Amino acid sequence: MALKAVLFDFNGIIINDEPIHEQLIEQILIAENLRPKRDEFRKFCLGRSDRACLKDILSRRGRVISETYLNQLISRKAQAYQERLAQMDELPIYPGLEEFILQLQTANLKIGVVTGALQSEVERVLTQANLMQYFSVIISADDLKISKPEPDGYLLGIELLNQHFENLDLQPSECLAIEDTPAGITAAKRAGMQVVGVANTYPFHIIQRQANWTVDYFRDLELERIQQVFSGEKFPSTVREC
């Protein structure tokens, strides 16, 4: 078994935008005459799609809304997110990300994104950050109605990579997921993948309980050692393995 592909989460892994999303969700709740509650965003939204996040929060508040109205809320938030990005001189891309992606490209590994974010959001960020050319597939909320921690996004990512690259014959056991939330880690593991957890959003000790490897920063990732673990070789590493 060898490592063939690396699939990245988006929010909290590629771009440090979780505070923006929290503010926008709070604005939606206020517009719905609901007072935001402490830790509500962390509990229902981190690692999950806007659809799942808003549906769960509103349901717990006793609000029953149609899919049409839910789509309107998601569209309103997406527009506000794009406006926030347009106001930024520089996007908050995580340090070390591009260097790690270049390592993956040098190693001839396939690269993709599996996220609950909208396609337009992912494309806007990757294009503006000059990273789009590295990603062969993007699985977004536009492709699936179901959210992490379900594995569907990761399984679709494998399917599309196999369609894109003839004779790749990619299997889940040959993929590495890069995640920052328990929901994302669970989704990747349910799909049969190994996972690197990056402590961007949750404390290291929480991510470490679930991920195969856990790091504080992208610069701590040692691709060569991870590849050797995939090939069956194991030895001590500064990347903490769980």
Domain count, the chain: 2
The pLDDT confidence band at residue 235, using thresholds 50, 70 and 90, is: very low
Domain boundary among 86, 119, 145: 86
CA Rg value for the chain: 18
Q: Which domain holds residue 203?
A: 5-16+92-241
189 and 226 together in one domain: yes
Average pLDDT over residues 167-180: 97
Q: In the 8-state DSSP scheme, what is residue 40?
A: H
pTM higher than the cut 0.95: no
pLDDT at residue 236, as a whole number: 43
The pLDDT confidence band at residue 241, using thresholds 50, 70 and 90, is: low
186 and 79 together in one domain: no
Domain boundary among 33, 52, 86: 86
Average pLDDT over residues 204-214: 96
Report d(CA 102, CA 163) in Å as an integer.
Answer: 23
98 — phi, psi (to 5°)?
-65, -40
Q: Among 121, 173, 89, which residue's Cα sits nearest to residue 17?
A: 121
